[in-house]
């Protein structure tokens, strides 16, 4: 089993490139993980919807997409970190926080990795034949939310401010986030002179700003121009908001 996992890790970057064309048998119960610090731990359910067993390895990194379990150093423990899940069975994954010096006035962002390694094909039809298999890695955002935060995360997107700025490719909108939460913008548009223009998607960190390019807009939109945008909430659902270009 150990050699199988090591081989899967070595091919991890190639695996990620092929994951979009492959179909995972192990389904994760959520698209993101919100970790309330006051709870000390969270549980995530995995379901194997395939026809055979799968080997699963899980770990958490702090932003390095090429990370492997033996090289990460984050304030979390996962149990079990490596397990076999039978076909049509579920497995609970416990994520436990350890002592860490993390900010208490804003969220911290980590990434949960779930690597699915399919079993070796067996049966008479595979005898004497070459086979090609791909391990599939899913990577989910994990938001560590300090107990000291009392704001409502669902209302956080309404506090975003929008300002036009010059960009190397034309016009961009600088989005400022005064809240303690990470806000993921999945879709946005700005209306200038009666015409809507698509704005790039992105994520803005707490107490920070990010620039999102505006497609096809040559001149900055006037103050008060409408901005419509969609964000992803704690439950993975989309919420729509409206804003305006700041003076």
Matching fold, domains 2-145 and 153-244: yes
2-145 CATH pick, 2.60.40.10, 3.50.50.60, 2.40.10.10, 1.10.10.10: 2.60.40.10
Of the ranges 59-63, 136-140, 164-168, 206-210, which one carries the lowest mean pLDDT score?
A: 164-168
Q: Which CATH fold topology does 153-244 show?
A: Immunoglobulin-like (2.60.40)
pLDDT tens digit sequence for 65-97: 998 999 999 999 999 999 999 999 999 999 999
- Alpha-carbon separation of residue 215 from 26, 78, 157 (angstroms): 37, 42, 22
pTM of the complete model:
0.86
Domain ranges of the chain: 2-145, 153-244
Examine the pLDDT at 11 and tell me if it is beyond 90: no
pLDDT tens digit sequence for 222-233: 999 999 999 999
CA atoms within 13 A on the CB side of 101: 0
- Radius of gyration (C-alpha) of the chain in whole angstroms: 22
Q: Which residues pair with 61 in a beta bridge?
A: 111
Q: What is residue 20's three-state secondary structure?
A: helix
Examine the pLDDT at 119 and tell me if it is beyond 90: no
**Residue 118: per-residue pLDDT:** 80
Question: How many percent of the chain have pLDDT more than 90?
Answer: 76
* CA torsion through residues 22, 25, 26, 27, sign: positive
Q: Using a CB cutoff of 8 Å and minimum separation of 24, what contacts does 196-203 make?
A: 196/228, 199/173, 199/227, 199/229, 202/175
Closest CA to 137 of 119, 112, 115, 111: 115
């Amino acid at each position: 089993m150990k050699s199988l996992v090591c081989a899967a890790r070595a091919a991890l970057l190639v695996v990620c490139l092929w994951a979009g064309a492959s179909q995972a048998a192990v389904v994760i119960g959520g698209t993101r993980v919100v970790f309330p610090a006051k709870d000390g731990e969270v549980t995530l359910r995995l379901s194997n919807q395939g026809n055979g067993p799968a080997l699963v390895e899980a770990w958490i990194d702090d932003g390095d997409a090429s990370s492997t379990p033996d090289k990460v150093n984050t304030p979390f423990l996962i149990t079990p970190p490596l397990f076999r899940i039978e076909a049509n069975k579920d497995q609970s994954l416990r994520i436990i926080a350890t002592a860490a010096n993390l900010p208490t006035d804003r969220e911290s962002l980590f990434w949960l990795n779930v690597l699915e390694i399919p079993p070796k094909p067996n049966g008479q039809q595979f005898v004497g034949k070459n086979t090609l298999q791909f391990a599939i890695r899913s990577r989910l955002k994990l938001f560590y939310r300090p107990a000291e935060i009392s704001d409502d995360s669902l209302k956080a997107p309404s506090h975003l401010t929008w300002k036009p700025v010059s960009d190397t490719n034309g016009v961009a909108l600088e989005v400022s986030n005064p809240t303690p939460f990470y806000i993921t913008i999945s879709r946005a548009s700005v209306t200038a002179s009666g015409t809507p223009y698509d704005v790039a998607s992105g994520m803005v960190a707490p107490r920070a700003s990010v620039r999102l390019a505006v497609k096809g807009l040559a001149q900055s939109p006037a103050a008060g121009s409408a901005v419509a945008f969609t964000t992803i909430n704690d439950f993975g659902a989309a919420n729509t908001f409206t804003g305006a270009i700041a003076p």
